[in-house]
């Protein structure tokens, strides 16, 4: 009789370990999904803000046609990339970020615009949305790191490959333009 | 602290009737106070500090900064935001679980801090919510309160009460009973002091952890450091704080001017030390904070070993004071006072001559004349 009990005991312990590891992986994967949804919300918000911004700024910035067009174009490309994977999307959004920062750098030259209440409110929204994008990206990448570590480390990697938990992609901004300071050209 | 409470209950009971009665009284008292603190703690605290809840439109920047920190910390629900109309500089977080949390900030602090500093302070408060410090400190506070109460009444009863008479009528006692009585008396005196010290130690540890989390969320320890510098330079005391609510605030609201030592007898670590640790950080991770702490303070680290990871997180690049769109201190002061007036139901009319008319809620006339230029305005 005794060996039967030992076998049952071992099976039960193994089952419990399996449950714990599996649930841990599911929790981390859900956190990654949730974090991705957060980024998504903020990116959409930025897309929605831009036409409004361009509309407000247009009247004041007669000589900045190119800068404004670049922003609109980058926004449209980014919007089309919405359904693409994390890597491609990050690239399109990075382009948009740099186009926007060029625009906001140029604003310094228009004191009338800087006094416009409407513009100030928009600028606060835009600054905050940029921050929210980078904070949600930060949280997403931390979640992905934790999740990927779990899917690769012993013993949870066994459970991960058994149930098809795949590693997630990081949301990295690889565009060089976002890292360097925005260039302001004084030729018109 | 729980052990202390049970012991004090035991001795109290032993000195009078039976140890069990004392235990029951102690535990009952503790349970009742805990339930009150758990269910009503946040609303009691908020109404005691006369905080007013704001909506997004009342102060978009504050709302945005709180939302940014919520995202960075991965908190699921947006906490409620309150403003306390007080020129003193302070902020606190409350709420029994992360889904039912509030952040409060004084109007004084709101107008003193720029965006990066505000982010640091809010990050500190959000991490109190995220780490569930609010609940921990409330429960510790209740435990401390119960111990103090019991010790106080117990001490009075022991000295003036019927201990002697009861003893003569009961089974005769002897040497053992007197030893217990003396032990009980000593314990009554020491228990509250020990409990207080333990409470302070826990509180300080959570403050360091919240500073570290804030640096991690913002990736910018200098923001919180410079906010703390401003907080440290101020001398005003918060009118509406009291001893029970002290550990909830970002700095100790009872700090006297020039008080620094405060090593064992304060809910908060000295501000100067917190600033030095933040500025000594080589990166923004918990690990970097722990190293900085050991470097400044010496001895063991302060972050729980389980949260330490080997990585170093880079600090965000230096941000510029007075960047585009960043309001100056005067603009912030105007903005904050507008919010305060609006929240007391005052109607603000901006006259063409630039004067601002604040119309009180009980002003019944249909129109008002600008005292500066004489134009009349419809209300």
| pLDDT tens readout for residues B189-216 | 787 788 778 888 888 888 889 999 999 8
Cβ atoms of B119 and B223 closer than 8 Å? yes
Question: Residue B345's pLDDT band (boundaries 50, 70, 90)?
Answer: confident
Number of domains in chain A: 1
User: What ipTM score was computed for the predicted complex, to two decimals?
Assistant: 0.79
d(CA B54, CA A104): 29
Q: Do A121 and B71 touch (CB under 8 A)?
A: no
DSSP annotation of B249: B
Whether residue A145 is contained in a domain is answered as no
Question: Which residues, 6 or more positions from B153, have their beta carbon under 8 angstroms from its beta carbon?
Answer: none
d(CA B62, CA B341): 17
Contact residues, A window 93-112, toward B, CB-based 8 Å cutoff: 104-105, 107-108
Q: Do A127 and B71 touch (CB under 8 A)?
A: no
* Burial degree of B136 (CB within 10 A; 0-12, 13-18, 19+): middle
Residue A127 contacts B, CB cutoff 8 Å: yes
Nearest-Cα distance to chain B for A132, in Å, is 5
Using an 8 Å CB-CB cutoff, list chain A residues near B60.
Answer: 121, 124-125, 128
Calculate helix-pair angle for B286-297, B175-218, nearest 10 degrees: 120
Q: Which residues of B138-174 are buried (b: 16+ CB within 10 A; e: fewer)?
A: bbbbbbbbbbbebbeebbeebeeeebeeebeeeeeee
d(CA A66, CA A63): 8
Nearest-Cα distance to chain B for A100, in Å, is 13
Whether residue A59 is contained in a domain is answered as yes
Domain with A63 in it = 2-137+154-179
Whether residue A110 is contained in a domain is answered as yes
Whether residue A83 is contained in a domain is answered as yes
For the record, the structure tokens of B124 come out as: 């500190």
Task: Show contacts of B273-278: CB within 8 Å, 24+ apart.
Answer: B273/B297, B274/B207, B274/B208, B274/B211, B274/B225, B274/B228, B275/B225, B275/B228, B275/B229, B275/B232, B277/B208, B277/B211, B278/B211, B278/B215, B278/B221, B278/B222, B278/B224, B278/B225, B278/B228
Element at B83 (helix H, strand E): strand B80-84
For the record, the structure tokens of B339 come out as: 């919010």
pLDDT of residue B241: 60
| pLDDT tens readout for residues B251-289 | 776 655 444 434 455 677 778 888 888 888 887 788 888
Closest Cα in chain A to B119: A131
Using an 8 Å CB-CB cutoff, list chain B residues near A31.
Answer: 74
Regarding predicted confidence, which is higher, B118 or B259?
A: B118
Q: Which among A53-62, B97-106, B334-343 has the top mean pLDDT? A: B97-106
Cβ atoms of B300 and B294 closer than 8 Å? yes
Whether residue A146 is contained in a domain is answered as no
Using an 8 Å CB-CB cutoff, list chain A residues near B68.
Answer: 128, 131-132, 135
Nearest-Cα distance to chain B for A80, in Å, is 25
Cβ atoms of B123 and B217 closer than 8 Å? yes
Whether residue A184 is contained in a domain is answered as no
CB atoms within 10 A of CB A27: 12
| pLDDT tens readout for residues B216-244 | 898 888 889 999 888 877 766 666 665 55
**Whether the predicted pLDDT of A8 surpasses 90:** yes
Q: What is the 3-state secondary structure of A29-95?
A: HHHHHHHHHHHHHHHHHHHHHHHHHHHHHHCCCCCCHHHHHHHHHHHHHHHHHHHCCHHHHHHHHHH
Give me the CATH number covering residue A39: 1.20.1440.20
CB atoms within 10 A of CB A117: 7
d(CA A136, CA B74): 8
End-to-end Cα spacing for chain B: 60
Whether residue A107 is contained in a domain is answered as yes
pLDDT of residue A130: 86
- The model's pTM is 0.78
Q: Which of B178, B139, B195 is nearest to B8 (CA)?
A: B195
d(CA B187, CA B147): 11
Whether residue A115 is contained in a domain is answered as yes
Tokens 């009078």 correspond to what residue?
B16
Closest Cα in chain B to A110: B324
Contact residues, A window 48-87, toward B, CB-based 8 Å cutoff: none
Residues of B marked as catalytic: 125
Mutate which of A135, A141, A150 to disrupt the B interface (most B C-beta within 10 Å)? A135
């Amino acid at each position: 009789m005794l060996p039967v009990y030992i076998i049952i005991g071992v099976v039960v312990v193994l089952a419990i370990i399996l449950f714990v590891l599996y649930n841990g992986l599911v929790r981390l994967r859900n956190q990654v999904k949730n974090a991705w949804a957060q980024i998504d919300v903020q990116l959409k918000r930025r897309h929605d803000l831009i036409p409004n911004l361009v509309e407000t700024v247009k009247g004041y910035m007669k000589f900045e046609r190119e800068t404004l067009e670049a922003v609109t174009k980058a926004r449209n490309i980014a919007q089309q990339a919405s359904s693409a994977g994390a890597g491609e999307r990050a690239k399109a959004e990075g382009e948009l970020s740099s186009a926007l920062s060029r625009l906001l750098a140029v604003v310094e030259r228009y004191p009338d615009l800087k006094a416009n209440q409407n513009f100030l409110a928009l600028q606060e929204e835009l600054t905050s949305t940029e921050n929210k994008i980078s904070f949600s990206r930060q949280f997403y990448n931390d979640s992905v790191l934790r999740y990927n570590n779990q899917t690769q480390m012993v013993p949870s990697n066994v459970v991960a490959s058994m149930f098809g938990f795949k590693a997630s992609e990081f949301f990295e901004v690889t565009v060089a333009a976002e890292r360097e300071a925005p260039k302001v050209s004084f030729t018109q | 602290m729980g052990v202390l409470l049970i012991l004090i209950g035991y001795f109290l009971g032993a000195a009078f009737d039976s140890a069990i009665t004392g235990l029951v009284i102690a535990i009952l008292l503790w349970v009742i106070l805990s339930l009150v603190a758990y269910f009503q703690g946040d609303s009691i605290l908020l109404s005691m500090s006369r905080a007013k809840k704001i909506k997004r439109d009342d102060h978009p920047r504050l709302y945005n900064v709180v939302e940014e920190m919520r995202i960075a910390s991965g908190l699921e629900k947006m906490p409620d935001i309150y403003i306390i109309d007080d020129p003193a500089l302070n902020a606190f977080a409350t709420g029994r679980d992360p889904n039912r949390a509030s952040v409060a900030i004084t109007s004084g602090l709101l107008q003193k801090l720029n965006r990066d500093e505000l982010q640091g302070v809010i990050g500190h408060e959000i991490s109190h919510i995220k780490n569930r410090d609010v609940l921990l400190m409330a429960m510790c506070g209740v435990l401390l309160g119960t111990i103090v109460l019991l010790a106080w009444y117990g001490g009075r009863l022991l000295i003036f009460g019927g201990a002697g008479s009861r003893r003569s009528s009961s089974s005769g006692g002897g040497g053992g009973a007197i030893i217990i009585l003396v032990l009980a008396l000593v314990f009554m005196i020491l228990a509250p002091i020990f409990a207080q010290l333990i409470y302070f130690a826990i509180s300080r540890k959570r403050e360091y952890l919240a500073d570290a989390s804030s640096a991690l969320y913002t990736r910018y320890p200098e923001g919180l450091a410079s906010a703390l510098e401003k907080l440290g330079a101020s001398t005003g005391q918060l009118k509406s704080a009291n001893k029970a609510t002290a550990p909830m605030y970002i700095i100790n609201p009872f700090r006297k001017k020039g008080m620094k030592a405060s090593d064992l007898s304060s809910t908060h670590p000295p501000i100067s030390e917190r600033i030095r640790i933040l500025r000594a950080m080589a990166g923004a991770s918990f690990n970097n904070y722990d190293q900085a702490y050991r470097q400044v303070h010496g001895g063991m680290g302060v972050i729980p070993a389980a949260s330490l990871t080997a990585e170093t997180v880079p600090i965000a690049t230096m941000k510029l004071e007075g960047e585009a769109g960043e309001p100056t201190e005067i603009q912030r002061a105007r903005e904050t006072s507008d919010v305060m007036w609006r929240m007391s139901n005052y109607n603000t009319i901006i006259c063409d001559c630039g004067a601002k008319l604040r119309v009180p809620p009980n002003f019944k006339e249909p129109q008002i004349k600008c005292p500066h230029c004489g134009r009349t305005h419809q209300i």
